[in-house]
Structure 1
Amino acid sequence: MTSIRALAEADLPAVADIYAHYVTGGVATFDETPLGVDQWRAKADGIAGAGLPFLVAEVDGAVAGYAYVSQYRPKPAYRHTVEDTIYLAPGHTGRGLGKLLLAELIKATGQTAARQMIAVIADSGDPASARLHKAFGFEEVGRLRAVGFKHGRWIDTVLLQLELR
């Protein structure tokens, strides 16, 4: 059984493990060192303190993915713009969990003061994330060329934007 729900404290080790997979083995994130549970707790507390959603996908009682939004940039004028983040556990991709998470994330974010949602996607050659976002109405608004260097290669990021209201 699959459900999408708010993050709970007990989910933090699974969230840390999922993220660590992408930090160490891929280029979806430009972090090079995995975050520990305490770092994830601080991040989750900051997101909750800002009144923003942090969701998990649970499959048969286990965390299979997560999604959250955070302020796009720290300067005050960006306070109505958020950036989304979605990661799925290895073995849980291609099953529609990203679609479920993004749908609920957009819905929950629509209940906040946010007006714009930005997706910053590393262009690794896999179009899945961009395709997912475009299915929800995100439009490509830019490309930053060779802005990340990880695992011996330069990586572009693609910017997509969704107007929430």
Structure 2
Amino acid sequence: MALGLMKQDAVDILTRQHSQIRRGFYRAALPGPGRRRAFERLMRLLAVHEAAEEAHVHPVARRALASGSALAARRRQEEKQAKKLLIDLWHIGPGGRGYLRRLNEARRAVLAHAAREEREEFAALRKAVGDRRLRMLGAEVRMTQAYAPTRPHRWVNNEATNKLAAPVLGPLDRARDLVQHMAHRH
């Protein structure tokens, strides 16, 4: 792993992913043969991103920030609502009826949530948690994302279920992804 990547803290990683998610929503809306691939990339990024936040970042914020419990509870509620939209979107798929409308609903919910995280949670974490702890948290985020499920699952929406789901659902999702990828190539 590159040295620069190892120096990134959790806020750096997750903020960069918020930008990738914004672009991902745009690409998943574009017509043409690349739409399915853009959609699958977006869903994968959203799934691993949220898994890491729910398993590591929100619990640290809950403990480290003065209003951490209320803040983490609001973020979890937003994530549950966004996850419902994403699950519906996953079932519709990029070729399904109402896809663009659902994609736009999910985009609005996810990007509003990301903006609130950056403004309220990430900024406060930078002040309350030391650089070393944020870099360690960044390593935890990267590790979780390497094994996390790659699509939204209805009951995986908090610290405990994310940590329990990763070793089970992560490999299953990755096996399904590989099979689907091979099917689309032929």
Q: What's the TM-score, normalizing by structure 2?
A: 0.28
Ranked by relative contact order (alpha carbons within 8 Å, sequence separation 6 or more), the top structure is: 2
**Where is the helix percentage greater, Structure 1 or Structure 2?**
2
Find the structure with the greater CA-based Rg: 2
Q: What's the TM-score, normalizing by structure 1?
A: 0.31
**Where is the strand percentage greater, Structure 1 or Structure 2?**
1
